[in-house]
Each structure stands twice: as C-alpha cells, then as structure tokens.
Amino acid sequence: MTTQSLNPNMWINSYADFLFNYTITRVRDEETAKDIIQETFLSALKAAPKFRGEATERTWLTSILKRKIIDYYRKINNPKHRAIVRFQNIQRDGSDINWLEERYEDRTNVSGDMKIEAKEFEILVFEHMAKLPKKQYKALAMKTIQKMSTEDICNELDITVDNFWVTIHRARKRLMLEINKEWYN
C-alpha cells in the first residue's frame, strides 16, 4: 500500500469547492459554511504532522470537516441537532449512549417550534428503530430505552460483548442513514 502525502498549498484549489458543497447541504448558510471550511483547513494544518498517509487528502480533510460540522451544531445547541450530534458520537464504552431518551434540561429556553421539531425528530427515530432487524432493534432498545447494562443485554440475547457492540454499531449506522435521508430531504 502506498501512502499519500499532503500538499496544503493546493487544498483551496483542489478541495474548497467539494468541501463547500458538502458543508452547505448540512448547515444551509453560506457564511457559516465558509467559516467551517476555514476552521477545517486550520485544523488540518495543525494536524498535518500526524497525517499517516493512509487516506487521500480529500478523505482526510472531509473527516476533519465532519467533526467541524458536528462542533458547529454543538455550539448552536439546537435540540434537533444536539440529538443528532450525540447520536453520531456515542462512545463505545456506552458513556453517551442514552441520547435517545434524554430530556432537554431547560425547556423554558426552548421555543415552541424547537419543541415541536424535537418531538418530530423523536417520533422519526422510533419509527425507524421499529424497522431495524429484530436483533439490532432489541439490542438498541435494551441499551438506550431500557438502560440495561451491556452484560445483561449480552446474557439475554446470548451474544458476546464484541458481537453486542458490532450489533449496536450497525443499528446506529442504519438508523442514522435512514433518519438523514428523511430528515434532511
């Protein structure tokens, strides 16, 4: 396998349009998209010494961009996007696994439209959870809704811990794919 090298002098000419198109479909604001891309390039320059060359420049920059978009939604603290961000960043150790049933702490500062949007998103999540394969649905529901321990779930489903995490990962990935298709289109 050959490794790729970075050429920061060509990033704007080579990748700015692609990164902008990717970003604008997710943030829907031109100035915000430009700011996020600028932050992406700055972060990439700082991280350049750690680049191992196992991916192309474009793939590597896109992964940094995705994290910047997630950071943006964290900053604006919109309930819909906070749920999506938490869902995408669930840690393997389960430390952030209960996003689904989390209630927003201070609903007094949330507008009526945001409450409705958050409820619509929650309904959408549950509708798509019901469409998951039975094993994935059970594992995800036990962990996120019933708040069962990993050990108890593994015992009940008669699976190994590694198999459990693979099942949860697949369930989340499939769920997010379906939600993204419906929510953003």
pLDDT of residue 72: 81
Query: Is 171 contained in some domain?
Result: yes
Range of the domain at 134: 92-185
**Does residue 99 share a domain with residue 62?**
no
**Does residue 148 share a domain with residue 109?**
yes
Residue bearing the bigger pLDDT, 185 or 69: 69
Alpha-carbon distance of 118 to 86, in angstroms, equals 14
**Does residue 118 share a domain with residue 65?**
no
With beta carbons less than 8 A apart as the criterion, state whether 158 and 148 touch: no
Q: Tell me the helices (H) and strands (E) count for the chain, helix number first.
A: 8, 0
**Does residue 69 share a domain with residue 155?**
no
Mean pLDDT over 137-142 rounds to: 87
- The number of domains in the chain is 2
Half-sphere exposure of residue 172, counting CA atoms within 13 Å on the CB side?
Answer: 24
C-alpha dihedral, 59 to 64 to 66 to 68, nearest 10°: -160
**Does residue 143 share a domain with residue 67?**
no
pLDDT digits (tens, 9 = 90+) for 19-54: 999 898 888 889 999 999 999 999 999 998 888 888
pLDDT of 132 above 80:
yes
Query: Is 87 contained in some domain?
Result: no
**Does residue 96 share a domain with residue 69?**
no
Among residues of the chain, what percentage have pLDDT more than 70?
72
Query: Is 136 contained in some domain?
Result: yes
**Does residue 134 share a domain with residue 52?**
no
pLDDT of residue 27: 82
Categorize the per-residue pLDDT at 11 as very low, low, confident or very high, splitting at 50, 70 and 90. Answer: very high
Query: Is 86 contained in some domain?
Result: no
